[in-house]
Amino acid sequence: MIEKEITIRNRAGMHTRPAASIVKLASKFKSEFMMYKDGMEINGKSIIGVMSLAAEQGATLFLRFTGDDEADAARELIDYFERGFDEPS
Amino acid sequence: MEFPEQYGKENIMKGIAASPGIAIGNAFLFTKIIPTIIERTLVLDEVETEISRLQTALFRSQKELKKILLFAEQKLGDRTKILEAQVMVLEDPILTATLFNRIRAELKNAEVIVSDEIQKYQTLMLGAHDEYMHERAHDMDDLKHRIIRNLQEQKLISKIESSSIIISHNLTSADTIILSRNNILAYVTESGGITSHAALFARSLNLPAVVGLKDITRKSQYGDTLIVDGYAGTVIINPSEKCINDYEIKRKAYKKHEEKLAGLRELPAETSDGKRVELAANIDNEEEIEFALLQGAEGVGLFRTENMLVGSDSLPTEEEQCNVYKKIAERLYPHKLVIRTFDVGGDKIAPNTIEEANPFLGWRGIRVSLDDLEVFLPQLRALLRASTRKNIYLLLPMVSSLEEVRAVKTILHKLKEEFHSTRTRFDKNLQLGIMIEVPSAVLLADELAKEVDFFSVGTNDLTQYLLAVDRGNPFVSNLFTEFHPAVLRALHQVISSAHKVGKWVSVCGAMASNAAATKLLVGLGFDSLSVEPTMLPEIKKIIRGISYKEARGIATTALQFTTAKEVEQYLNGVLKKEFPSIAEQRL
C-alpha cells in the first residue's frame, strides 16, 4: 500500500477535465486507488466521485494505492497531481 | 411609433430583445417534466430483472446523449461540455456497479436507488464554494431525470404544433436542439441574457426571441395568443384584434427591410466610384461565425479571444485554442481571421491576487501577456500552428510602446525557429498588427507603422484615454463621444502614418458599427471596417450608396471642426439627407 498527501496546484482546481484524466489514468492500473478529502472517501476510478470532490487550488488530498502495480500507479498519478494537471497555476 | 402604449399595459411584458423579428402565434409552455418516483420493495426473484431494466435505461440514456452531442456539434458547432460530463458519468463503471449492488442489497426499485445514489454526489457538489460545481450539480439533475425517465419509458417530448411560440423558464443547449426539430415561431424565456443559449440559437435560426422576461411562465398559458417583438423585447399576451393587425403590418414591413438587406449579402462593400472597403465582423466566439457569414461578413476583423476565458473553468490549452482558431480560419477562408491575443485585466488571469486602484490604466492587454508567458506562449503557439491556411492575422491589444512590439517579435521569432526545427507547419508570412487605442501609440504611429504590418483602431478605449473620460461613469459619460475633434485628428494621423509606409488600417470599435460614422470612416481612408454582425447589411448599404470622393469631402469637412457638437450636427445632417429611415433609428 502506498499513501501520499498532495496539494492541488493548478489555478482552476480539479474540474471536469483533470478529473476525467485522473480517472482515465487510474483505470489503466489494476490497483485500487482511493482519494480522501475532508473525511470523504472517493474511488479514484469513478468520474462522478472524482468530480464531486470539488478540490480547489490549495486543497489537500490524501491518496492511497493498493495492489500489485501500486508503485507504477502511484508514480504516474502523483506525478500528474504534482504537475498541476499540466495547467497554469 | 409606440404600438404597445395604445392597448393598455396589462397585457404587455418587457424583457430583453435577444433576436430580431416579429412573431404572432400560440403559446406552448415548455416545462421539464420531473418524473415522480414511487418507491417499491422487490422480491428476491425480481432483482435480476430490475438490474436488467436499469441497464436498458442506462443504455438508452447514453444513446440519447450521444445523439444530442452529435446534433449539437453539427448544428451549432457547440462545445457541449455539459453533455460530455453526463456521458462520462453514464459510463462510470464504479457508479454502475454500485447501483446494481445496491439493488441487490437493499431490494428497492431502480428509480429510488438511482435517485439516492446520484443525490449523494450532488450534495457534495453543492457543498463546494464555486459556481462551477453548482452547475455540475444541475447537470447531474439532468442526468438523473434522464435515467429515470428512461426507466419509466416516457417520451422525451410531446409533439409541438406549428405556429407555436415556446415559453420556458430556461432553455439549455440540449433543449434547444430537441425543439429545433419542430416548427417554432419564436422563443421566450424567463431567465437568460443576450448571450444565453436561447438567444444564440434563435439568432442562428433567424427566429425572434425575448429573454429575461420574469414571470412569463405564470402569466401565459398554453394556447394563449402571443405577439413576440424581438426588436423591442416585448411580448403581448392575448392582444386585441386591432393590435394583431397593426403588428402584422409591422411584421411585413420589417421582413421586407430585412430581405432587402439580406440581398446585399453577396454584393461587395464598394463605393459608387469603385473604392473597395473590407467589411468584416467582430466576433467573440466560434458560435457567432455562422451569423456573421449570413450577414455578409468578409472575414473577421476582430476575434476577441478573451471570451474563451470567460465562463470557462480554466484557461484553454494550446491544443484547444489551436483547434478553435483552425476551425474558424477554415470556415472563413479565403477571408481574414484577425485574432486579438487575450485582452484582459490582471484580475482575470490571477483572480483573488490582483487589486488595482486604476485597472484601466493598469495591468492588462499586452502587458499581462508579456508578464505571464505561461498564458501567452500557448496562445501564440496555437495561433502559429493554426495559420497553415495563411489567412490568420495576429493582433496585439493595448500597445503603448515600441518595446512591447519588439518583445513580441522576439518571442515570435524564437517560436518560428523552434517550429522550423521540429518541422511544424505555420504561415511564414503571418502578419502582425497592433491595436491603436492608447494615445502614445497614436503619437508614435510613424515608428510603429514600420514595425508591424497593420493597425486596428479601437475607438472605444482610444476615445476614453484621449478625452480622459470613463464612459461608465455617470458623472461624465455625456462627455464621451467618438466625434470629438481630437479623436478624428488621431484617426487621421494614424491612417496617414500607416499608408505612408504601405500598411493597412482597420477600425473595430463601436464607431465602426455606427451608421452615422460610416461615411466619415470611409472618407478618412480606413481600409477595413470590422463591425458587429447585426450592422453589416446597413453599413454595406451606406458604403454602396456613396462615392469615395464624396466620403473624402465629408471627412475633410468634419476634420475642420473644433467641437464635437459641430461634428455631430454635420454628420447628422449628412445621414438624414440620404437615409432618413436609418437616421430615425440611429440618431
Q: What's B451's domain CATH number?
A: 3.20.20.60
Do the beta carbons of residue B518 and residue B539 sit within 8 Å? yes
User: Dihedral of the CA atoms B312, B314, B318, B319 (nearest 10)?
Assistant: -60
For chain B, the domain total comes to 3
The residue among B177, B153, B154, B181 whose CA lies nearest residue B82 is B177
Same structural domain, B142 and B162 = no
C-alpha B434/C-alpha B456 separation (Å) is: 6
Same structural domain, B138 and B172 = no
Cell of A20: 476525467
CB contact under 8 A, A11 and B313: no
Tell whether B315 lies on the interface with A, counting CB pairs under 8 A.
yes
Could you tell me the mean pLDDT of each successive run of 10 residues in chain B, 587 residues long? Answer: 50 85 90 80 93 94 80 56 78 95 95 95 85 78 89 69 82 66 83 68 80 87 90 90 91 81 85 96 85 88 87 78 94 95 76 76 92 94 96 97 98 96 94 98 98 97 94 85 97 98 96 92 98 88 94 97 95 76 50
Residue B580, preceding bond cis, omega within 30 degrees?
no
The residue among B411, B388, B433 whose CA lies nearest residue B528 is B433
Residue B263 lies in a domain: no
**Tell me, what's the pLDDT at B1?**
42
Residue B260 lies in a domain: no
CB contact under 8 A, A46 and B130: no
**Tell me, what's the pLDDT at B184?**
85
Specify the amino acid at residue B431. Answer: Q
Same structural domain, B323 and B452 = yes
**Tell me, what's the pLDDT at B586?**
47
What residues in B contact A48, CB-CB < 8 Å?
Answer: 89, 92, 95, 118, 121, 140
Same structural domain, B144 and B169 = no
Residue of A12, A46, A54 with shortest CB distance to B125 = A54
Query: B84 to chain A, minimum CA–CA distance in Å?
Result: 10
Q: How many CB pairs under 8 A join A and B?
A: 70
Same structural domain, B127 and B216 = no
B145, B197, B243, B322: the catalytic one is: B197
Has this prediction a pTM greater than 0.90?
no
Same structural domain, B209 and B357 = no
The domain in which residue B71 lies consists of: 45-151
Residue of B125, B130, B313 with shortest CB distance to A52 = B125
Q: How far is CA A2 from CA A5, A39, A46, A65, in A?
A: 10, 19, 19, 5
- Domain range summary for chain A, segments of one domain joined by +: 2-86
Residue B187 lies in a domain: yes
Domain at A2-86, CATH class: alpha beta
C-alpha B351/C-alpha B130 separation (Å) is: 13
Residue B407 lies in a domain: yes
Model pLDDT for residues A18-68, shown as the tens digit of each residue: 998 999 999 999 999 999 998 889 999 999 999 999 888 899 999 999 999
N-to-C CA span, chain B:
16
Same structural domain, B500 and B421 = yes
Long-range contacts of B211-215 (CB under 8 A, 24+ apart): B211/B15, B211/B16, B211/B18, B211/B187, B212/B15, B212/B16, B213/B13, B213/B14, B213/B15, B213/B16, B213/B188, B213/B189, B214/B15, B214/B190, B215/B13, B215/B190
**Tell me, what's the pLDDT at B173?**
62
Cell of B491: 484617426
Residue of A20, A54, A87 with shortest CB distance to B124 = A54
Residue in chain B nearest A27 by alpha carbon: B93
Q: Note the maximum CA span of chain B.
A: 93
Residue B363 lies in a domain: yes
**Tell me, what's the pLDDT at B437?**
96
Same structural domain, B146 and B53 = yes
Residue in chain A nearest B132 by alpha carbon: A15
Specify the amino acid at residue A50. Answer: V
Do the beta carbons of residue A88 and residue A19 sit within 8 Å? no
Cell of A45: 476510478
Same structural domain, B87 and B203 = no
Cell of A70: 501500486
Residue A38, classed as helix, strand or coil, is coil
User: What CATH number does residue B178 fall under?
Assistant: 3.50.30.10
Domain boundary among B101, B129, B151: B151
Residue B283 — left, alpha, or beta (φ > 0 → left; ψ -120 to 50 → alpha)?
A: beta
Domain boundary among B116, B151, B186: B151
CB contact under 8 A, A11 and B121: no
Residue B40 lies in a domain: no
Same structural domain, B443 and B490 = yes
Question: What are the two backbone dihedrals, phi and then psi, of residue B571, each rounded to the nearest 5 degrees?
Answer: -70, -35
N-to-C CA span, chain A:
30
**Tell me, what's the pLDDT at B177?**
62
Query: B345 to chain A, minimum CA–CA distance in Å?
Result: 16
C-alpha B83/C-alpha B96 separation (Å) is: 18
CB contact under 8 A, A46 and B129: no
3-state secondary structure B536-555: HHHHHHHHHCCCHHHHHHHH
Burial B370-405 (b: 16+ CB within 10 A, else e): eebeebbebbbbbbbbbbeeebbbbbbbbbbeeebb
Residue B37 lies in a domain: no
A2, A4, A12, A15: the catalytic one is: A15
Burial B279-294 (b: 16+ CB within 10 A, else e): bbbbbebbbbbbbbbe
CB contact under 8 A, B95 and A87: no
Which B-chain residues 412-431 have CB contacts (< 8 A) with chain A? none
Same structural domain, B173 and B59 = no
Domain boundary among B97, B121, B151: B151
Residue B360 lies in a domain: yes
The residue among B205, B176, B210 whose CA lies nearest residue B191 is B210
Residues 6+ away with beta carbon under 8 Å from B259: none
Angle of the B93-106 helix axis to the B47-76 helix axis, nearest 10? 150
